[in-house]
Each structure stands twice: as C-alpha cells, then as structure tokens.
C-alpha cells in the first residue's frame, strides 16, 4: 500500500508528527461493507526539561511590567505579513454581531466529491457519495450559492481551482464555502491520486492572501474518516435530578469555520444508498432552519441529529454493530452567520 505522504514542508525543529507504518486499508466506514483503517499517531512534544533557552517572547520586560508574551518554547518572526494591507474595505462594522450577508452575491461553493481512486492507493469506492454530492448541490443553491461540483479530481487540480478562486474578486460576495467528500485518516485527506493535508484547502484564503474575503466567512465542511476508532456510545437513563471604530485590524486566520464529520481519531459512517450521516443531517437541518438560525446554532443541531438519530446497523459484525458518531466543528468566526434571503 502507498503510505500517506506529508505534502507540506515540515518544520524539523521540533518534530511533532510521526506517521506510523500500517498494513491495513485507509478508508471511511461503509455501512454494510466495512473494514478497519490506520490512524496517524501524534508523537510527544519534546520534553520542556531538555536543554535551556532564553525567553523567546519578542517583548522583554521586567517582572514588574505587564506585557503580552507568547505561549511557545521557540519563537521566530515567521513568514507571514506584518498586517493587513492598507485600503482593504471593511465588509462589516467592527462591533456588528452578524456578518454582512447583504452583498449582491452569496458567493461560490465548491463541492469536491470523491468516489473512485487510483488503484495504487488501494482505497475502496465510496458508494453513496454521489447522493451527498447531489443533496449538497440542491441545498447550497437554495441558499443562493453559485455551486461548482467536481468529481474524482487529482490533488493538483483541486489546488489549482482553490488557488484560482482565492485570486478572484469577491468584493460583491458574502462568503465562500468548500466541501470535501472523500476517504481520510488523522490529519490526511485523499484526492483521487494522492493524500494531502487538510490545511491545503483553506491556506489560500487567509486575510493577507485573499483580500476581498477578509472579514467575511470562509466555511469548510469535510466528510471523511479521521482515524480507526469506534464510538460505542453510552446508554442514557432519565433521573429525577436531571458601529464602532473607523477602522480595525483582524488576524489573518479569523472568520474561518471548519466542520468535520467526526472527531479526530474516529471513523466516519456512510450509507451506501442514502449517503453519509453527516451530510444527511446537515442538509436536513439547513432545509428547515437556514434562514431562522445562525450557522453555529445550525451546526449544533446537526451534531445532535448525527449523535441521536443515527446508529450503525451491522448485525452480522459485532464489532461494527450499533456504533455512534459525533461531528467536530472548529470556529474562528468573530460574528454570527445567518443566511438572509436574497
């Protein structure tokens, strides 16, 4: 089997991630046709007791003077820009509670759907994923997105499309949304021809690289396994006790929302006819509450639906039978997202 390849230049000091050698096939679980998959284990951070180093904080002061410090053992100036370029229009007032969703366009939505893979990867076809693709296309169009759907693309094509999108003018758009439906492992997604790190999806859209999306929501939804652990669940029983400043500066990585179908280290389930649990739940809630609730509230309800309404049904396999799943949502949003009608 071809082992996952780290496509990003890794930092050699300190070394954090170690990819274990595995012999089983990586794939997200398929209901009715299941197999285990490997998981990439994270190595331990270097011991803080090894060696001595001066305070790496860029701000040096006496203990009696209050100053901001960085929580890191090593510090460097890095490669990022020194700040937002001058002249970037503010899409939303500094203290606004909601993102401005009143631009002329909602924005673009990209759906990267993967069912078949290069035989060298030894990955099984993801039967049922086309149902997810079609449901997402319908629901995102109903939210006024300009939806672009791609099937079984190699990684270079995915990166070319996203890099090109980051260079477009989004001044008249509310936001951008990207969805990936594929096989995965911990810290790895699969294009049709090779593995890649998930951050390659959103790295082009930071505020310093895509100025016309600065201060606007950038949403990423990923349906893929993140490991080979199974969630056995726990039975619950009822008990009796139960306008602002003229201008402002933002971090380059603000205003992102990244939603995974499962938590790190665990399988993600997909029905071969109805599609994945995560996309089924997402489309169900979006259809009913997209215009009445903010997106994080919607994602809470998606998590609840996946957690309570879905359970694996594999009576012939005791190990895989009656297992559960919970999505994982990471938010760097600074306001609420509500899809107001166009």
Q: Look up tokens 């990022």; give the residue.
A: 80
What are phi and psi for residue 244, nearest 5 degrees? 130, -160
Please confirm, yes or no, whether 175 is among the known catalytic residues: no
Using CA of residue 70, residue 215, residue 280, residue 302, what is the dihedral sign?
A: positive
Looking at 183, 210, 283, 303, which residue is catalytic?
A: 183
* β 108-113/146-151 pair status: parallel
Using DSSP's 3-state secondary structure scheme, residue 100 falls into: coil
Residues 6+ apart with CB under 8 A from 300: none
Q: Give CB contacts under 8 A, 24+ apart, made by 301-304.
A: 302/278, 302/327, 303/327, 303/329
Give the number of other CB atoms < 10 A from CB of residue 305. 18
Question: What does 77-92 look like in DSSP terms, one character per residue?
Answer: --SS-SSPPTTPPPSS
Contact criterion met (CB below 8 Å) for 22 and 38:
yes
Which pair of structure tokens corresponds to residue 161?
């499309």
Using DSSP's 3-state secondary structure scheme, residue 135 falls into: helix
Question: What does 204-249 look like in DSSP terms, one character per residue?
Answer: GGSTTT-GGGTTS-EEEEEES---SB-B--------S-----S---
Please confirm, yes or no, whether 284 is among the known catalytic residues: no
Looking at 131, 175, 210, 225, which residue is catalytic?
A: 225
Q: Look up tokens 């390659």; give the residue.
A: 200
List, by residue number, the catalytic residues.
183, 225
């Amino acid at each position: 089997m071809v082992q996952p390849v780290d496509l990003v230049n890794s930092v050699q000091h300190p070394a954090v991630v170690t990819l274990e050698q595995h012999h089983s096939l990586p794939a997200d679980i398929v209901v009715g046709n299941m197999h285990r998959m490997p998981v990439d284990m994270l190595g331990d951070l270097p011991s803080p007791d090894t060696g001595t180093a001066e305070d790496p904080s860029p701000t040096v002061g006496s203990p009696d003077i209050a100053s901001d410090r960085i929580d890191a053992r090593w510090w460097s100036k890095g490669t990022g820009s020194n700040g937002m370029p001058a002249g970037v229009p503010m899409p939303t007032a500094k203290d606004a509670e909601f993102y401005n969703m009143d631009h002329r366009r909602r924005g673009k939505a990209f759906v990267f759907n993967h069912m078949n893979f290069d035989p060298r990867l030894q990955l099984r076809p993801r039967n049922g994923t086309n149902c997810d693709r079609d449901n997402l296309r319908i629901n995102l169009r109903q939210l006024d997105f300009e939806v672009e759907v791609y099937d079984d693309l190699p990684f270079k094509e995915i990166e070319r499309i996203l890099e090109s999108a980051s260079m477009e003018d989004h001044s008249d758009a509310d936001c951008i949304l990207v969805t990936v439906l594929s096989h995965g492992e911990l810290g790895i997604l699969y294009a049709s021809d090779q593995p890649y790190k998930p951050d390659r999806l959103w790295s082009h859209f930071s505020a310093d690289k895509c100025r016309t999306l600065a201060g606007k929501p950038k949403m990423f939804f990923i349906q893929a396994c993140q490991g080979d652990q199974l969630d056995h669940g726990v039975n619950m029983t009822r008990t009796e006790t139960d306008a602002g400043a003229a201008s402002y500066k933002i971090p380059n990585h603000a205003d992102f929302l990244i939603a995974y179908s499962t938590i790190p280290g665990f399988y993600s389930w997909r029905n071969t006819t109805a599609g994945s649990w995560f996309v089924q739940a997402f489309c169900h809630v979006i259809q009913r509450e997209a215009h009445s609730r903010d997106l994080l509230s919607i994602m809470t309800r998606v998590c609840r639906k996946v957690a309570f309404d879905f359970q694996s049904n594999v009576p012939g396999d005791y190990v895989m039978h009656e297992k559960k799943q919970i999505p994982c949502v990471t938010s760097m949003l600074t306001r609420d997202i509500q899809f107001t009608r166009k």
